[in-house]
Amino acid sequence: MAVAPSMHEQLGLAPGQSVELLKALHILTREGKLNQDSRRKLKQVNHLLQFIEPLLDKVLAASGTVTLADHGAGKSYLGFMLYDRFFAQRSTGHVYGIETRTELVERSRELARELGFARMSFLPLSVQAATTSTELPPRIDVVTALHACDTATDDAIDFALAKQARHLVLVPCCQAEVAAALRKHKALSASRSPLSELWRHPLHAREFGSQITNVLRCLRLEAHGYQVTVTELVGWEHSMKNELILASHGATAQQVDRARERLAQVLQELALPELQARFAV
């Protein structure tokens, strides 16, 4: 006789994932139901956790403890679900949620108290302020930024470099800066290279600008000694902001030199002089 699927199987939850936590985060209704938007959000975060948890395990095995900072934390779905699935099962480690909106920070602090998640801290700071804040340790092992809009992803990279992070997990969103620079220098580019046709039209400039922004970010990370993997977060039917950048420190000197050379060449070829300060090493 067929066995009826459990509640976890029906909802697509990971084994042992807390239903009560998901209700507290309003991902599940009080009756334990999922609407379409919540189902999409839950699938994204659970998929992301599969990438992050092995990195946490690696740091923990090497150091005996692990710290994680989540930038643009919002309602801290990622932080709470990570704590529930990983940190709560261990007696060490700390999660920092960094978010500029004070009302979301206060709500997260209250929920952490209610759940007894003692090794979670929520800070009402910008990424830049967090970099020098004494409320964070001098080193952070893992840095995450989920759907960090435009230059917020670059700010998270700056933070990670300053904190000597071992791993970064980034899902960029809404990149506009490079597209604006491409349009600004369109006439110069057109005179230099037929490749400027890739961004001659505004729609193409937006799409190509988004693509090249992430290419530059990957080269920058490689130039700072990280090995980088780029993959999909979830299927395109769930989100158009779908690129996942994973970076782990440990590149060879040869890889670093090549990335620095390539980064400078790409910026020069695309006539993006004002972006040297952001991306150059």
Please state, in angstroms and rounded to a whole number, the distance separating the CA atoms of residues 119 and 204.
45
**What range does the domain containing 190 cover?**
175-225+249-281
Among 174, 189, 169, which Cα is nearest to 51's?
169
Domain boundary among 174, 202, 235: 174
Please state, in angstroms and rounded to a whole number, the distance separating the CA atoms of residues 98 and 253.
33
* pLDDT average, residue stretch 115-140: 96
Please report whether residue 257 resides in a domain. Answer: yes
Please report whether residue 231 resides in a domain. Answer: no
User: What was the pLDDT predicted at 89?
Assistant: 93
- The overall average pLDDT reported for the chain is 87
Q: Say whether both 268 and 193 belong to one domain.
A: yes
99 neighbors 173 (Cβ within 8 angstroms)? no
Please report whether residue 4 resides in a domain. Answer: no
Q: What is the pTM of this model?
A: 0.89
Among 3-17, 79-93, 148-162, the minimum mean pLDDT is found in 3-17
pLDDT in tens, 247-277: 999 999 999 999 999 999 998 888 887 788 8
CB within 8 A of 255, min separation 6: which ones?
Answer: 222, 227
62 neighbors 147 (Cβ within 8 angstroms)? no
Please report whether residue 158 resides in a domain. Answer: yes
Q: Say whether both 132 and 180 belong to one domain.
A: no
Among 8, 47, 19, which Cα is nearest to 239's?
47
Among 2-11, 133-142, 168-177, the minimum mean pLDDT is found in 2-11
User: What was the pLDDT predicted at 107?
Assistant: 96
**CATH number of the domain that 22 lies in?**
3.40.50.150
Please report whether residue 234 resides in a domain. Answer: no
81 neighbors 95 (Cβ within 8 angstroms)? no
pLDDT in tens, 62-89: 999 999 999 999 999 999 999 999 999 9
Half-sphere exposure of 234 (CA within 13 A, CB side): 18
Contacts 24+ apart (CB under 8 A), 97-102: 97/70, 97/73, 97/121, 97/122, 97/123, 98/69, 98/70, 98/71, 98/72, 98/73, 98/122, 98/123, 98/125, 98/127, 98/130, 99/72, 99/73, 99/74, 99/123, 99/124, 100/124, 100/125, 100/126, 101/74
Q: Say whether both 203 and 109 belong to one domain.
A: no
| Count of C-beta atoms within a 10 Å radius of residue 200 | 14
Asked if residue 93 has pLDDT above 90, the reply is yes
Q: Which two tokens stand for residue 185?
A: 């220098």
How many structural domains are present in the chain?
Answer: 2
